[in-house]
Each structure stands twice: as structure tokens, then as C-alpha cells.
Chains A and B, each alone.
Chain A
Amino acid sequence: MADEKLYLYPIWIRIWHWLNAVFFIVLLLTGISMQYSNPDNPFLISFELSVQLHNIFGILISINYLIFIIGNLFTSNGKQYKMKTKGLFKRLYDQSVFYLFGMFKKQDPPFDISVENKFNPLQRFIYSTAMYIGFPIIIASGFALLFPEIIIPQIFGLSGILITALIHVIIGFILSLFLFIHIYVCTIGASISSNFKSMITGWH
């Protein structure tokens, strides 16, 4: 790992990231409150409020996502999400082996962090999948649920709304797993809090 400090996260990425984090957590909590709606459960947000918040924050996270996409198109940050398929599996394997065994043996990480390469291969793969596959699907299905009249009423004999909702919920669940793993992996740094501080100051 490079000893000198690297400026990895420009201000627009930091603002986008933290807004995305807040919006996502609100969507997660309100989504769970609707999916497991139960007026007797004191830990859930009321259904009525959940619907309103989920609609508002769904639109906000979509706008924020648009900013992310535009930012990636017009800055070098977009390159961080591109992967070469050649040797991808090997790189993912090496990074996974490091997380599972190597780091406990005090080995050096197999891939160095640099301004051009701020993510390790596993991060690059998971972030790209989440942002370029997961997000478009969850936003599109969420948009359809916000305007259900655009959904095909019946698909293979099942309610079109049901299928759209199932896709939305499943992707939401996978992204929420990502959130937990993401937060945990962020504690693996020079110190437990150093990666969190990086996302505030921009310096790694």
C-alpha cells in the first residue's frame, strides 16, 4: 500500500455517496415497514408515512443516481467501474483469498490502491454490479410501482404488479446485503475508522 496520502474521493463523489447512503437507509427502513406491515409492531414506521417517505426518497435517490451516472460520464471516475473480463476470475479469487486468509497472516493486499485504481478487483466488481445492474432495475421497477398504470396487468397469468414488486423487493434485499457487507469491509483499513474518514475528507 502506498505510504503517501492519495486524494481518491472528490467532493462531488463524497456528497453523492453520503446522500445515497441516507436515501438508501430511509428506503430500506420504509420498504421493510411496508413489506412486513403490521400496525402492532412498534419498530416499524407507520404504513401511511412509509408510503410517502418511500415515494419521496425513491425519487431523490433516482435523481442522485442520475448525478452519479452523469458524473461518471464526464469525469475519470467512470473508469473505476470498468473491468477487463480477461483474468477477472483470477483477480476476484486472489482478492477473496486475501480477505479470507491472507489478511489474517499479515500479508500485503494483492492489489495496490492508486488514483487510477481506487477499488480492489472485488470492490470494482461488486460496485459495478450494484450501480450498473442493481440500481437501474430497482429504479425502473420502483418507477413502475409509483405509476402502476404503466405495468402490464397480467404476465404469464400472474399480476404484473406482483412480478414488478417481487423484482423490486428481491433487488432491494440484495442491495441491503451489500450495504451491510460494504459497511463491514470499510472497517478493514489502516484503522477501523480510516476508510470512513476518507469518505469525509477525500484523502485515503
Chain B
Amino acid sequence: MKLLKLLLVCSLFLAGILVNAQEKEANKNHSCLKCHGHTTFKYMNEDFGMEIKESMCANRMIDTLAYAQSNHGMFKCTDCHSPEYETFPHPGQLRMELMYACNDCHGGDPEYAKFHFEAIEEAFYESMHYNRSPDAFTCWSCHNPHTYKTQARVGENIIETVRYDNNICLSCHADVSKYELLTERENINILQSHDWLPNQELHFKSVRCIECHTQLSDSLLVSHVVMPRDSAIRECTSCHSANSHLMASLYRYKSLESRKGGGFLNAVILNDSYVIGANRNQYLNILSVVIFGLVLIGIFTHALIRILKRK
């Protein structure tokens, strides 16, 4: 009986430690997010003994839910930002802090080798984004470190992946204030520059901008060589053909994962979309040729008998 009591006390103690650890884990960023996770924040003006409430600058705000679900959600803010931020008011010189880029953490790490971060960096240096604004453009210009989630590898639903990835492009190309941060150029009207595309809305929902605007890469799942406007794909048959470009880009991961034909050519496209010319049912193809052949044979035989019986 004593032993049982002892065990009970021990297990309660252990459970207490675990709950405490979990709470600590959940609250690891509390001191930052109590201000940066909200639209307003409060602080005490010690000199005058007043509590001041102010609004949080929009681009300093963190979507706490998106952060927790993002690839970097397990990190403490001070893993990437200076620990000096823990004091308030934050010291002014911290504004000069340079942000880490992807390869500062991921470079040379065998655990992340499958993501090919080095190859991505090389591709990025070739992209017109980097070459037009080498000082302004970084990984974070497209991949928000506080919300970024790998999509192409996990996204079961291609339409979701398309929406997520296109929103990355649109975060600048549909938002003048962010666009102006990176370039002096006049904003591009995407709807106008794509007015040649039939069923524009359907195309925008079904394929990613990068399908046509990046150079395909053999080693990378998602190409990072964003090309200048003149080099973008404008040929319908690049996607609308049996040898569809989409199989090497949007559907690449799915096609690598699933080689099953299912009777359909480029079958992986089917669950999410239909690309005229790219997916055809092989059985229906054969059946149509057989039926058409039989009709022609029937006509030919009938005509032949007519000729023979004419006299």
C-alpha cells in the first residue's frame, strides 16, 4: 500500500514537471508576443507612473497562430533576434541588426540536405529579383520567416499549394507599399499583362506564377530562378501537351511520389484539375481508336460489296 502511495506521489510529481515544461514551451515567446502578437500594446511610463497604450506597427506584428504552425514555430524569438530585445524600450542600435538568411542556419547541414538550400541560394543569385535589387532582396522578401510553411512537399491539395505560393508573389505584386520597398519601378498590373491568357481566373487558381516565370531546374523541386518578363513561358503547349511542363514543376512532387498510371496520362493532375491536352485516359484513347477503326472497316466493307454487286 505504501509502495502504491509512493508511486502515486512520484507520478503526480513527474506529471507536474511535464505540464510545467509544456507551459514553459508554450510561453517561451510570451514576453515578445504579448506586444507583437496584438494590434495594441501597453507599457508603464515609470517617470510619470502612467500606463500607456499604443498601436503596434503592422509590419512588426506577428500572427501568433500562423507562427506556431509555421516551419520555424518551435523557435524562441531570441534564437534569431538579439537577446537585447528582451529589454524595453528596445535599444535603438538593434535596428541595425542584420537578419539571418536561410543558409546561415541550414547551410551545410546534412539534416536539411534534401531541401537543397545551397542550390536554392545559387538559383536565387541568378534570379532577376536578386539581380535587380541585390541589397533589398533576401529569402525573407518572399518567405516570411514567421509564417513560412513548406507546401509543395506536404500539400495534398494542389489548389491550396497554388493559392499559398501565388500569394507569396502577390504579397508584392498586388501590394504597392511592399513592392516599392524593393524597386523603383512602376508597379506591374498583373491582370493587364496576362490579358492574353484565356480563362485568366481559372489559370490563376490552377497554376502558380512560378510555373511560367521561373527556369526549370533538374535538382530543385521549386525553381528559384525567377526570369525576366521576356523569358516567361507564353506557349500554351508547354503545359497543354502530353509532355506537360507542369509535370516537372507543379506536379513534380506528386508525380515523384506516385508513378501509378491509373489509366490516365499524367494522372496526378486529375484530382485537382484538368489540363486540356495533358491528361488523357489511355483506355478511352484505345477504345476510341478501336471504335473508329471498326466504323471505317464497316464503311469500307459495305462500299466494297456495293461496288462488287453493282452489276
Mark interface residues in B280-311 (1 if CB within 8 Å of A CB, else 0). 11001000100110011001001101100100
Instruction: Say yes or no: is A56 at the interface (Cβ < 8 Å to chain B).
Output: no
Chain A residues lying within 8 Å of B63, measured Cβ to Cβ, are none
Complex-state Cα separation, A38 to B242, whole angstroms: 7
Chain B residues lying within 8 Å of A36, measured Cβ to Cβ, are 277, 280
Beyond A34-B276, A159-B271, A181-B299, is A148–B199 a contact (Cβ under 8 Å)?
A: yes
User: Are B299 and A180 in touch, CB under 8 angstroms?
Assistant: yes
Say which size band chain B's interface belongs to.
20 to 34
Say which size band chain A's interface belongs to.
20 to 34
Name the interface residues of B67-122: CB closer than 8 Å to any CB of A: none
Complex-state Cα separation, A100 to B123, whole angstroms: 68
Instruction: Say yes or no: is A1 at the interface (Cβ < 8 Å to chain B).
Output: no
The contact of B236 among A35, A47, A162, by CB within 8 Å, is A47
User: Are B277 and A162 in touch, CB under 8 angstroms?
Assistant: no
Chain B residues lying within 8 Å of A149, measured Cβ to Cβ, are 201-202
The contact of A47 among B240, B302, B305, by CB within 8 Å, is B240
Instruction: Say yes or no: is A108 at the interface (Cβ < 8 Å to chain B).
Output: no
Chain B residues lying within 8 Å of A37, measured Cβ to Cβ, are 236-237, 240-242, 276-278
Closest A-chain residue to B291, C-beta based? Answer: A177
User: Are A38 and B270 in touch, CB under 8 angstroms?
Assistant: no
Complex-state Cα separation, A47 to B305, whole angstroms: 41
Chain B residues lying within 8 Å of A162, measured Cβ to Cβ, are 270, 273-274, 279
User: Are A184 and B303 in touch, CB under 8 angstroms?
Assistant: yes
Beyond A51-B198, A158-B270, is A35–B276 a contact (Cβ under 8 Å)?
A: yes
Name the interface residues of B127-179: CB closer than 8 Å to any CB of A: none
Beyond A51-B198, A177-B292, is A35–B280 a contact (Cβ under 8 Å)?
A: yes
Complex-state Cα separation, A148 to B201, whole angstroms: 9
Instruction: Say yes or no: is B186 at the interface (Cβ < 8 Å to chain A).
Output: no
Instruction: Say yes or no: is A48 at the interface (Cβ < 8 Å to chain B).
Output: yes
User: Are A159 and B274 in touch, CB under 8 angstroms?
Assistant: yes
Chain B residues lying within 8 Å of A51, measured Cβ to Cβ, are 198, 236
Shortest distance from the beta carbon of A41 to any chain B beta carbon, whole Å = 10
User: Are B235 and A39 in touch, CB under 8 angstroms?
Assistant: yes
User: Are A184 and B299 in touch, CB under 8 angstroms?
Assistant: yes
**Taking chain A's interface residues, is the majority helix, strand, or loop, or is none over half, making it mixed?**
helix
Instruction: Say yes or no: is A104 at the interface (Cβ < 8 Å to chain B).
Output: yes
Instruction: Say yes or no: is A203 at the interface (Cβ < 8 Å to chain B).
Output: no
Name the interface residues of B184-236: CB closer than 8 Å to any CB of A: 198-199, 201-202, 235-236
Complex-state Cα separation, A122 to B284, whole angstroms: 27
Complex-state Cα separation, A135 to B241, whole angstroms: 27
Instruction: Say yes or no: is A165 at the interface (Cβ < 8 Å to chain B).
Output: yes
Beyond A47-B236, A162-B270, A162-B274, is A39–B241 a contact (Cβ under 8 Å)?
A: yes
Instruction: Say yes or no: is A138 at the interface (Cβ < 8 Å to chain B).
Output: no
Chain B residues lying within 8 Å of A61, measured Cβ to Cβ, are none
Complex-state Cα separation, A161 to B276, whole angstroms: 10
Instruction: Say yes or no: is B180 at the interface (Cβ < 8 Å to chain A).
Output: no
User: Are B288 and A34 in touch, CB under 8 angstroms?
Assistant: no
User: Are A34 and B240 in touch, CB under 8 angstroms?
Assistant: yes
User: Are A159 and B272 in touch, CB under 8 angstroms?
Assistant: yes
User: Are A159 and B305 in touch, CB under 8 angstroms?
Assistant: no
Chain B residues lying within 8 Å of A103, measured Cβ to Cβ, are 306
Beyond A36-B277, A37-B276, A159-B272, is A47–B237 a contact (Cβ under 8 Å)?
A: yes
Mark interface residues in A18-53 (1 if CB within 8 Å of B CB, else 0). 000000000000000011111100000001100110
Beyond A37-B241, A148-B199, A159-B272, is A184–B236 a contact (Cβ under 8 Å)?
A: no
Chain B residues lying within 8 Å of A159, measured Cβ to Cβ, are 270-274
User: Are B306 and A104 in touch, CB under 8 angstroms?
Assistant: yes
Subset of 19 A-B contacts with CB under 8 Å? A35-B277, A37-B241, A37-B277, A38-B241, A38-B277, A39-B237, A47-B240, A48-B236, A51-B236, A149-B202, A161-B274, A162-B273, A162-B279, A166-B281, A170-B284, A180-B299, A181-B295, A181-B299, A184-B302
> What residues make up the interface of B, taking CB atoms closer than 8 Å to A?
198-199, 201-202, 235-237, 240-243, 270-274, 276-281, 284, 288, 291-292, 295-296, 299, 302-303, 305-306, 309
